[in-house]
Amino acid sequence: MTSSAAIGPSRDQVQAHRGTSALAPENTLAAFRKAAEQGAKWVELDVALSADGALVVIHDDTVDRTTAGSGSLGTLSHADIAALDAGSWFDPQFAAERVPTLSQTLSALGELGLNANVEIKQHPHHRSLEQLVDAVQTAIKARASHTEVMISSFDPQALRAMHLRQPELEMAILWGRPPEDWEAQLASVPASAMHVHYKALSIGLLEEAGKSGIKVRAWTCNNPTQLISFWDAGLTGVITDNPALFLK
């Protein structure tokens, strides 16, 4: 009797969420290095503007949770943010980590052989969508040619604006649960992928998406058994805090 091999993702299908944020402070170069050490090929990271228009890699619209400082990105300059310890909150061994810019991050990813899922955050202090996407475009255009980039966002307008600038890049709409009219919303960007909360996955959704040639990735899943039935049904990828769990 033969048994079928366990179904699981390939290396290209696993993305380290904010880097390997289970083992290093999120959205720091240490977290991205950890992803490379684990053999990941992709990292997901979040970008937003500082008060003076620098594009920094950070999830929240304040520095309170992930640095030793405090305050809103909308009131802090890049110099203010860059001076902060972005690692001690996680573990004292990471005290030297800083909040990197997207440019610094893409440069490091190029050296590490990692590709980037750049999630554009929209925060209340962002004054202009144009300023935001211009900053993303500038950083992306300067990356090493071997570094692949995809863009994701909960904000379809940000994706639309990015698509107009860089139509060759994959665009992914982020949803907790996809809306009824997901196909129309994807077409309006246009986006060729949706990134959905893993609890919103269903075989039916994957089949429907597959018929339309739409990729589906699941966030943020840290237990491979929760996705086991979905790979065979066409799941494109997973965004996880710890890629090693999926890269066995």
Q: Which residue has the tokens 């005290």?
A: 95
Say if CB 177 and CB 219 are below 8 A apart.
no
| Closer Cβ to ligand G3P, 77 or 192, answer by number | 192
Residue with tokens 């001076």: 83
**CB 121 to Mg ion: min, Å:** 8
Choosing from 9, 22, 46, 101, the residue that interacts with Mg ion (CB under 5 A) is: 46
Q: What is the largest CA-CA distance in the chain?
A: 66
Active site residue 126: no
Q: Which is nearer to ligand G3P, 185 or 220 (CB)?
A: 220
Q: Is 59 assigned a catalytic role?
A: yes
Our CB check for Mg ion shows the closer of 13 and 77 to be: 13
174 binds, among ligand G3P, Mg ion, none (CB under 5 to 8 A by kind): ligand G3P
Shortest Cβ distance from residue 155 to ligand G3P (Å)? 12
Residue 47 vs residues 18, 36, 92, 195, 204: alpha-carbon distances, Å = 10, 20, 25, 17, 32
CB of 185 to ligand G3P, least distance (A): 17
The CA distance from 44 to 149, in Å, is 10
Query: Which CB, 26 or 97, lies closer to ligand G3P?
Result: 26
Contacting positions for ligand G3P (CB under 6 A): 17, 44, 46, 59, 119, 152, 174, 195, 219-220, 239
Q: Residue 43: phi, psi to the nearest 5?
A: -125, 145
Q: Which two tokens stand for residue 53?
A: 């228009």
Residues 118-147 contacting Mg ion, CB under 5 A: 119
Q: Least distance to ligand G3P from the beta carbon of 220, Å? A: 6
Tokens coding 222: 């840290």
Cα–Cα distance for residue pair 149/169, rounded to 1 Å: 7
Nearer to ligand G3P, 133 or 193 (CB): 193
From the list 59, 123, 125, 197, the catalytic residue is 59
CA dist 214 and 191 (Å) reads 8
Is residue 217 within 8 A of residue 239, CB to CB? The reply is: yes
Question: From its phi and psi, is residue 99 left (phi > 0), alpha (psi between -120 and 50) or beta?
Answer: beta
> Please, which of residues 7-26 interact with Mg ion by CB under 5 A?
none
- Give the shortest CB-214-to-ligand G3P separation in angstroms: 16
Which residues are designated catalytic? 17, 59
Residue numbers at the binding site for Mg ion (CB under 5 A)? 46, 119
